[in-house]
Structure 1
Amino acid sequence: MHAMQYEITLPADYDMEIIRKRVATRGHLLDAFPGLGLKAYLMRERGGASAVNSYAPFYLWATPEGMNSFLWGPGFQGVVDDFGRPRVQHWVGLGYAEGPASTSAPTAATVRRTPVPEGVEPARSVADAVAEDAAPGVVASAVGIDPSRWELVRLTLWEGPAPADGGDRFEVLHLSAPGRGGLRSGRHW
């Protein structure tokens, strides 16, 4: 599994209905995309829990071929054409789990990035991150790592509001999940 996200920060006065309409009209295009485990179309609006407007899709790729097909194909080119080329963050998948609310459609998400501290055994830190229990309301969660920066990332999809202490909070506008059933549960090493 490979985790991937790009976040497009939009102006403070940007009409976020444009993003909602974009996802409503184009989101289904990845509902059967080969090699995609799931894509959560994430958005946050300035005010309340967020200081910025942003569109920040998060992907779990079941195959590297699927990820490459998207990045070098017309799907990502549409993002580049409309918003410019965003920085794409990428993490090696460490673990995936369906949560207690796995049969529900997610409405919220949290993305938490955590550095692996100096002096801490990397394997222990990674194992601890993967072993975190799923709380009530969790639809699914995944953990990945960028070993070039020793940064862990945890995506959690929620059936209701996301907790305030779970990381950056987003609204889920759509979930494309053609390969979700094929994402291997548990740790990935």
Structure 2
Amino acid sequence: MYAMQYQITLPADYDMGIIRHRVRTRGAALDAFAGLGLKAYLIRERASGSPVNQYAPFYLWHSVDGMNRFLWGGCGFHGIVEDFGRPPVEHWTGVGYERGPAFASAPRAATRHTRPVPSGVDPTSFVARELDALRAHASAPGVHSSALAIDPRHWELIRFTLWEHSVERQDGEMHYEVLHLSAPQAAELPTGRHWWQQPRAI
């Protein structure tokens, strides 16, 4: 699994109805995109208390082939570049994914919690603890699904969660409204940790 997001910050007086119309008329284009686990079409609005107006789609890719076709194969990202310019694309290696009790419902909100992996800690133990926390977090009422991913260049960990409804703000979290969810292979994203454990030699 690969996590990916680009965040397009728009002018303070930007009519976010333009983005809503864009998603309403074009969002279904990825509803059957091969290799895509899910794409959440996300926005933040100043009118709803956000510090910025922002269009910020978030992706969980089932395969790197699908991600590459989207980015470089003329299958979607070129439209973003043509309309908004080329935004930085954040990406992380997926380490865990869990389905929540509201997986069958359409999510209306999303949160992204970001934290550094502290220097001097054992990354193996750190990730193991975070995976335990992910399982507990994903079992909360209203959770559609939740993913854990790491950027090992900057040692940044993110936990991305889709919710059936809006939730109370927590420190270190970005909150988004979900306008549409394309989820062609969400049910195929493996749950639990995302690597095979090599048995130790005896």
TM-score, with length taken from structure 1: 0.97
Residue 79 of structure 2 corresponds to: 78
**Which segments of 5 or more consecutive residues in structure 2 lack a partner in the other structure?**
196-202
What letter is aligned with 2:36?
L
Matches of 2:103 and 2:149, distance apart in 1 = 20
Identity of counterpart residues, as a percentage?
A: 62
Residue 109 of structure 2 corresponds to: 108
Alpha-carbon contact 1:49-1:169 (below 8 Å) kept: no
SS at match of 1:4: strand
Matches of 1:146 and 1:27, distance apart in 2 = 27
Q: How many residues align?
A: 189
Residue 183 of structure 1 corresponds to: 189
What letter is aligned with 2:178?
V
What letter is aligned with 2:159?
R
Matches of 1:42 and 1:162, distance apart in 2 = 15
Residues 57-99 of structure 1: CA deviation (Å, up to 9, x unaligned): 0000000000000001331000000000000000000001100
- Give RMSD over aligned pairs: 1.0
Q: 1:128 deviation in Å?
A: 1.8
Residue 58 of structure 2 corresponds to: 58
Answer with 1 or 2: which has the greater Rg: 2
User: Where do 1:8-19 residues align within 5 Å?
Assistant: 8-19=8-19
Q: Structure 1 residue 153 and structure 2 residue 158: aligned?
A: yes
Matches of 1:45 and 1:128, distance apart in 2 = 34
Q: 1:123 deviation in Å?
A: 1.4
Matches of 2:118 and 2:48, distance apart in 1 = 30
Matches of 1:51 and 1:16, distance apart in 2 = 14
TM-score, with length taken from structure 2: 0.91
